[in-house]
Homo-oligomer: A and B are copies of this chain.
């Protein structure tokens, strides 16, 4: 017990006890290479005797040049990033995608240079990295990765040259959704968008905010909507949440004289919030207000079948994971752009004749 504390046994100790060389013992563990069953058994027995818990992953990764860890870089604090089920689904997809690697997932946030000897993006023992929804602000991190020779894959965010990009048809999908609303007869449409900048400025949708955008997703979805409704105004939410959607909705719907007949929300959570706001104000959905979401998640607690642009979040994550696998195998990673499908639920209808 105490000797365990003082000196954990190493492979060499095990080998000595088993009466074989370290190299043989190694083979016995890793399985690759010709080792007689008898010997292997002896080594394993010796290991058990000594309480040896298997090769030290640190030494192994130094020698092998692989750590078996894939980094996931989130732009926000964990708390914020995981607020939206979409991100969680993507994470799940990534897990699936890298399953053949048997690698672990290391959570990294891109909060500038990690102080001291912290394990930041510039010095994490990762074999590859998945960048999630990262803005150009990540430039230097990407540069660091390139220098370190660590392959990367970006989800929803241009990262640069040789970095495969997994994305969806944000603009086109939103355009289709908007088109659908127009076909229903809507002409007076308002938007509730995701934040455009890292500060998450909330408020009215102004040209200034749009111009200063660092968020591709928000910009693209906006552009798509404006292809159909060029003059559509609206509100910018600070984050993708029901509460933010509700606040935006309350503002947009406050004045019954000027309120729109349809609202395009850039996420399902926001859409759910808008619906809540409408119900609070006694506005019937979809009879008096149509609401279009984006994501295609099941919003926990929402008693509507949201009309939305369903994006394959899990597939996105999986594709990213698979690209990582390719990259690590030395093959070029494949960029993929998924297509969202318009799911028509019960939150959209022909406009109410006021």
> How far is it, in angstroms, between the C-alpha of A161 and the C-alpha of B149 when the chains are bound?
43
Are B149 and A8 in contact, with the CB atoms below 8 A?
Answer: yes
> How far is it, in angstroms, between the C-alpha of A85 and the C-alpha of B80 when the chains are bound?
11
> How far is it, in angstroms, between the C-alpha of A28 and the C-alpha of B321 when the chains are bound?
37
Question: How many protomers of this protein does the assembly include?
Answer: 2
* A137: interface (CB < 8 Å): no
The chain B residue sitting closest to A150, CB to CB, is B53
State whether A57 and B123 are in contact (beta carbons under 8 Å apart), knowing that A62-B62, A269-B300 are contacts in the complex. Answer: yes
* A122: interface (CB < 8 Å): yes
- A300: contacting residue among B5, B61, B243, CB under 8 A: B243
- A115: contacting residue among B56, B68, B102, B269, CB under 8 A: B102
* A125: interface (CB < 8 Å): yes
- Chain B residues near A82: list those with CB within 8 A: 82, 88, 91
- Chain B residues near A117: list those with CB within 8 A: 30, 68, 102
Are B124 and A5 in contact, with the CB atoms below 8 A?
Answer: no
Interface string of A115-135 (1 = CB under 8 A from B): 111110011110000000000
Q: Which A residues, 41 to 72, have Cβ-Cβ distances below 8 Å to chain B?
A: 51-59, 61-62, 65, 67-69
> How far is it, in angstroms, between the C-alpha of A269 and the C-alpha of B123 when the chains are bound?
39
- A107: contacting residue among B65, B104, B116, CB under 8 A: B104
Interface string of A84-120 (1 = CB under 8 A from B): 0100110110010000001111111000001111110
- Chain B residues near A144: list those with CB within 8 A: 53
Are A105 and B107 in contact, with the CB atoms below 8 A?
Answer: yes
* A284: interface (CB < 8 Å): no
Interface string of A254-280 (1 = CB under 8 A from B): 000000000000000100110010001
* A353: interface (CB < 8 Å): no
Are A61 and B125 in contact, with the CB atoms below 8 A?
Answer: yes
- A119: contacting residue among B57, B246, B301, CB under 8 A: B57
- Chain B residues near A62: list those with CB within 8 A: 56, 58-59, 62
- A92: contacting residue among B68, B79, B108, B269, CB under 8 A: B79
The chain B residue sitting closest to A72, CB to CB, is B107
State whether A276 and B303 are in contact (beta carbons under 8 Å apart), knowing that A92-B79, A119-B69, A144-B53 are contacts in the complex. Answer: yes
State whether A114 and B102 are in contact (beta carbons under 8 Å apart), knowing that A53-B148, A119-B57 are contacts in the complex. Answer: yes
- Chain B residues near A77: list those with CB within 8 A: 92, 95
> How far is it, in angstroms, between the C-alpha of A144 and the C-alpha of B246 when the chains are bound?
48
Question: Can you list 23 residue pairs at the A/B interface with Cβ under 8 Å?
Answer: A8-B148, A8-B149, A53-B149, A54-B123, A58-B58, A58-B65, A62-B62, A69-B106, A78-B88, A78-B92, A78-B95, A82-B88, A102-B117, A102-B118, A102-B119, A103-B118, A104-B119, A105-B106, A105-B107, A107-B107, A242-B301, A243-B300, A301-B302
Interface of A toward B, CB cutoff 8 Å: 4-5, 8, 30, 51-59, 61-62, 65, 67-69, 77-79, 82-83, 85, 88-89, 91-92, 95, 102-108, 114-119, 122-125, 144, 147-149, 241-243, 246, 269, 272-273, 276, 280, 298-303
